[in-house]
Structure 1
Amino acid sequence: MSNTDGHRTYAGYDRTAIDRTGQAEAFDAIGDRYDEAFPHKEGQLAAGAWLAEQLPAGSRILDVGCGTGVPTARQLTEAGHRVVGIDLSPGMVKLSRDNVPGAEFHRMDLADLESRGLGPFDGVAAFFALLMLPRGEIPVALRTLHGQLRPGGLLALGMVEADVDDFAIPFLGNTIRVSGYLRDELRQVVRDAGFEIAGEESFAYAPASTDVSPEIQLFLHCRRP
């Protein structure tokens, strides 16, 4: 159902409680140092390749939390798809537009996706964007993405395996808040949002920066039935 401002509402979810304080500002300050700290991204590239190869050429793909546009928006655009990227950070949106001029980018919150009318999409890439949300919002975000996909559409989801909720961490000289799940719980949250899980990969990742801890990255290949 929807409330009076056109946004869909979900049981137990209070949209007025959304707090992004400091999140976009941190990534504005980080800028292209993000790519320097995470230079390889083998898992993200593999998941992006799965998405690019599974969809017909010219498919419309949403890149959630597009960051600098590298590697995902560039990878999908070069594969012949039409990419729409969104990010809360105006600095990241500018970098994306500079790095991938063949794609379309918008500064916006994922919570506003339904009201902006950008969909529907054939595919969605969401690499490490949902971990920037509190746990109470992640299932809502997944259901929003499910609703933006055409039947049979694909979601490539990347998360860091961690049992944390809205936890403040130092990140490249700034502070951000992150959430995560252990993999069994992540699978359940994704299935509860209406997705089928067609595949899964995990990677041990050590960033180039000593300011960021090593992590286990999980990538789920999902489909909207």
Structure 2
Amino acid sequence: MHAAREDRQAAAFDHIGARYDEAFPHKDGQISAGEWLLGRLSPGSAVLDLGCGTGLPTAAQLAGAGHLVTGLDLSAEMVRLARSNVPEASFRQGDLRDAEGEYDAVVAFFVLLMLPLREFPDALARVHRALRPGGLFCLSMVEADLDDVPIAFLGQEVRVSCLLRDELRAVVEEAGFAVEEEHVLSYAPSTTQAVPEVQLFLNCRRP
């Protein structure tokens, strides 16, 4: 069941492809989180970009600053686009379970959305293990109260889960992260095929 669900999610984003960036052209929250990382990482740090999508803007932002970026995405089409957009980074198809090695930072922008709520603690525990002590973790989520609900998104059906801001912070802290910054943004996509949303960004550290 788990594999079949992942296959459906990956197929949906294979079809969405470059239209994702067209629908969400302004990613101010992700750029700001990247700047937060850039101000704290040592030169040439190893960074894992979970759910890297097309590689824009995050992988490009971090690799362009000289960091060693590894991107993972379930969608083969997203990986293809990311390799084209950010040739100086490394991308492969997979998810958090396919992450290997230790990292100075992990970014996971709108990735937990793709999981049922019951899988959030394990996903966060995996991120915690992938980080070196003192490592940095940037996470984003759409604020809502949903658990594995099918929605229409850019012409495809995807299943999403969301938490309210206090619940998200509690889950992240229970996973062993210290939340250093929290930002809330209102976002209106540039398409009628996705609805306006409230985006939550947490900048964290593994103590």
For the criterion TM > 0.5, the same-fold answer is yes
Cα distance in structure 2, aligned partners of 1:95 and 1:119: 24
Give the number of equivalent residue pairs. Answer: 206
What TM-score do you get using the length of structure 1 for normalisation? 0.89
| Residue 33 of structure 1: aligned partner | 19
Cα distance in structure 2, aligned partners of 1:33 and 1:206: 15
Deviation at 1:17, TM superposition (A): 4.4
The two structures, once aligned, show a CA RMSD in angstroms of 1.1
Residues 36-56 of structure 1: per-residue CA shift (max 9 Å, x gap): 000001111101111122111
| Residue 141 of structure 2: aligned partner | 159
What TM-score do you get using the length of structure 2 for normalisation? 0.97
Would you say the 8 A contact 2:50–2:95 is kept in 1?
no
Would you say the 8 A contact 1:52–1:81 is kept in 2?
no
| Residue 154 of structure 2: aligned partner | 172
| Residue 109 of structure 1: aligned partner | 95
| Residue 67 of structure 1: aligned partner | 53
Residues 168-188 of structure 1: per-residue CA shift (max 9 Å, x gap): 110111010110100010000
Structure 1 residues without counterparts, runs of 5 or longer = 1-15
Task: Give the secondary structure class of the aligned counterpart of 1:24.
Answer: helix
Q: Percent identity?
A: 58
**2:159 partner amino acid:** R
| Residue 47 of structure 1: aligned partner | 33
Write the mapping of 1:116-195 to structure 2, written as runs, cut at 5 A: 118-195=100-177
Structure 2 residues without counterparts, runs of 5 or longer = none
Cα distance in structure 1, aligned partners of 2:69 and 2:17: 21
Task: Give the secondary structure class of the aligned counterpart of 1:55.
Answer: coil
**2:185 partner amino acid:** F
**1:137 partner amino acid:** E
